[in-house]
Structure 1
């Protein structure tokens, strides 16, 4: 055993430069080379739960995806985003269904800050549009309920009036606007991105491991043969 230890020390001295150079080289490689996903490859996400107030264009995932995947929406509601990104909006934007009532808005190929800003602005613009239509629907329902409640009818129609009034009030209670479930944030992207420092540390550790294996394995093989 002492002989093996002596040979290991001798090999360490002999290959000392390798022990230094290999970890430093792999550490530098990890720092400078973009292994894995770069910042711009990781999209920013926002998730929205669609409203429910009998407006297919804003309450159905398919129609909303079509709405947000075409330029007229951005020209009308987000002219600043449209002017800045033009066709990149459609190339780098992804609107996908998460469920029958939820959608996810994603934007990539830009800096973290820009992707987060664009996604959150799109979500904000859609929610503002949705809230406007929701309030219009609420106003229509309220007027219908008030009109029906104040309408004078004969005894024979009283039951029907109460039934219609109940149906309208029930429908009004089930109405809801779209809701932002999750906004895009830098923390989410940061978790997925591998920093240069982390890659460098990993490179150094791999380099040390390989260098030590280069020194130790030949001695272990020689010992087993003996």
Structure 2
């Protein structure tokens, strides 16, 4: 063991110049290499949606919509052809944020342009379709209530109440609205940033030290084993 350490020390002294130079050169090379050399592009689709107004506890509540859109049940409906694992991956890249009592933003990011747009559109279209169906059901109930009340014959004493109810129902009908996209951003492409120059420089230095270590030490271990 003592002889091996002596030989290692001798090899270090003999090759000290390049042992020092190698980490410095690799560190400098890592620093000046283009920072995006290993980066990959990502694509993001985003839209702002105004929530509907027809008294639904989930689809009209912008605090609940983020939970709704990222739920397993909703994603299974929106993406029936994907596996559970694929939908879990979608969930991790789907962002739904509440901006106000009536506004949310939905964004989805991925590395494949066509798939990113396909998944994003599937989520948006499913939400809007469900919302439209619920809106139409509510609007139908209100229309039927108005028609029934207008066709009802009441006594003179109840006429005031009838007019008041009709007024309230007509106001409700006027205020009913389905959700809708108010702003849809074009798909944004973000180039990968790769590793920062300082980190690449440190990595270069570490690689240089590792190479020097292998050149100096490993031959001695093989020599001892022979």
Q: Same fold (TM over 0.5)?
A: yes
**Aligned-residue RMSD, C-alpha:** 2.7
Query: In 1, are the aligned partners of 2:51 and 2:59 still within 8 Å (CA)?
Result: yes
> Where does residue 75 of structure 1 map in the other structure?
76
SS at match of 1:86: helix
SS at match of 2:47: strand
TM-score (norm 2): 0.65
Distance 1:165 1:133, change over 3 A: same
Relative to its length, the structure with more helix (as a share) is: 1
Query: In 2, are the aligned partners of 1:127 and 1:178 still within 8 Å (CA)?
Result: yes
Q: CA deviation at 1:170?
A: 0.7
Partners in 2 of 1:54 and 1:165 — Cα distance?
A: 18
TM-score (norm 1): 0.65
> Where does residue 139 of structure 1 map in the other structure?
140
| Bigger radius of gyration among the two | 2
Give the alignment of 1:157-196 within 5 angstroms.
157-186=158-187, 189-190=188-189, 193-194=190-191
| Count of matched residue pairs | 165
Partners in 1 of 2:140 and 2:147 — Cα distance?
A: 11
SS at match of 1:146: helix
Q: Deviations over 1:198-226 (max 9, x none)?
A: xxxxxxxxxxxxxxxxxxxxxxxxxxxxx
> Where does residue 119 of structure 1 map in the other structure?
120
Distance 1:184 1:88, change over 3 A: farther
SS at match of 2:127: helix
SS at match of 1:29: coil
Structure 2 residues without counterparts, runs of 5 or longer: 1-31, 194-226
Distance 1:107 1:144, change over 3 A: same
Structure 1 residues without counterparts, runs of 5 or longer: 1-25, 197-226
Q: Deviations over 1:70-115 (max 9, x none)?
A: 1101223431355682211221111111221111112224323322
Partners in 2 of 1:156 and 1:132 — Cα distance?
A: 39
SS at match of 1:103: strand
> Where does residue 47 of structure 2 map in the other structure?
46
Distance 1:100 1:107, change over 3 A: same
SS at match of 2:63: helix
Runs of 4+ in 1 over 6 A off after TM superposition: none
Query: In 2, are the aligned partners of 1:97 and 1:103 still within 8 Å (CA)?
Result: yes
Give the alignment of 1:7-26 within 5 angstroms.
none
Give the alignment of 1:57-76 within 5 angstroms.
57-76=58-77
> Where does residue 34 of structure 2 map in the other structure?
29
